[in-house]
Amino acid sequence: MMDVKKSAAGVAGTAVSQEDLREINALAKGELTAEQVYTFAVRLCDNEVDRDFERFSRAALEELGELFLGRSCIFDHQWSAKEQTARIYRTEVVEEPGIPTETGESYCYLKGYAYMLRSEKNAELIAEIEGGIKKEVSVGCSMKRQICSICGRDRSEGPCGHVPGRRYDGRLCYVTLEGAADAYEWSFVAVPAQREAGVVRKGLHPKGEGLKSYLERTGARGWLCELETLEKEAQLGRSYLEGLRKELVRLACTADADLDGDLFAAVVRRLEEREILELRRVYQKRVAAMPLPGVQICRGEGAAAEDGGAFLV
């Protein structure tokens, strides 16, 4: 027996049908109306090889579907009150034809339909689901067998000698999880673990390929936009740091005429923002205490000499 924790992306609000309401009320033993409940669908787990080089068999997904029925969501600590809970009232294994998995099978996933009360306490969580902030779900379950893809042995009975993630004669070694014994939790997570949730795995990241070209090749447009935003922000950060470094070199050369500006600039390039800010504070103080600020000249010519003595204290 093996305890398994997995995450996958895919949470979306759904409309409440009469059928949904019937199933919810059967579970809740109540008479809830469509206005009183909020329903959403989650991608619980799938049959793709994940970053731990494990996958669920299709049969295991069906078994997990039965076990997840009626299960309540475990929220982080701020969602601990009793009425703040979402419960799975229906599950189904959904096929996504056209996308083969790493193993060449057709891709399928276990979809869970969950409901929660539209109460004041749940309003924030509902807003987060609707706003796409809560978009990954993690599941915890217990599996009976771990079948090695190379030799077919059950690794829960002992190691078979193959290492998941390695290739043997070109064949990837991965572990298929079979025989669902228990599905004990599902919860929202911040950090995804399954590939569907956005993790770039070693096997898909050939040596030398950059993140950008990988995203372009796989057509993940949303992430490409995100990456471009990050690149712009990183550029801003670099120019900010560069400005700080120049200012520090200028101040230091002003405070100390004997300082070799080029040498000091080379040292400053290795410092981090916190260190630069501290040194700048020290030199600003020194320069401010000088009788005639800004009249001394650096010996070096590099970054330190640019802009002359045009700093402000």
The binding site for Zn ion (CB under 5 A) comprises 148, 150-151, 160, 162
Q: Which is nearer to Zn ion, 177 or 276 (CB)?
A: 177
56 membership: H or E segment, kind and range: strand 54-56
Q: Which is nearer to Zn ion, 162 or 250 (CB)?
A: 162
SS3 of residue 82 by DSSP: coil
Q: Which is nearer to Zn ion, 168 or 240 (CB)?
A: 168
Q: Which is nearer to Zn ion, 8 or 150 (CB)?
A: 150
CB of 6 to Zn ion, least distance (A): 21
- The residues that bridge with 180 in the sheet, in sequence order, are 143
Q: Which is nearer to Zn ion, 148 or 197 (CB)?
A: 148
CB of 53 to Zn ion, least distance (A): 12
Distances (CA, A) of 278 to 151, 156, 262, 263, 270: 60, 55, 20, 19, 14
| Cα-to-chain-centroid distance, residue 127 | 20
CB of 240 to Zn ion, least distance (A): 52
Q: Which phi-psi region, left, alpha or beta, contains residue 29 (left: φ > 0; alpha: ψ -120 to 50)?
A: left
CB of 175 to Zn ion, least distance (A): 9
The first and second tokens of residue 124, run together, are 């924030």
272-300 burial, b if ≥16 CB within 10 A, otherwise e?
A: eeeebeebbeebbeebeeeeeebebebeb
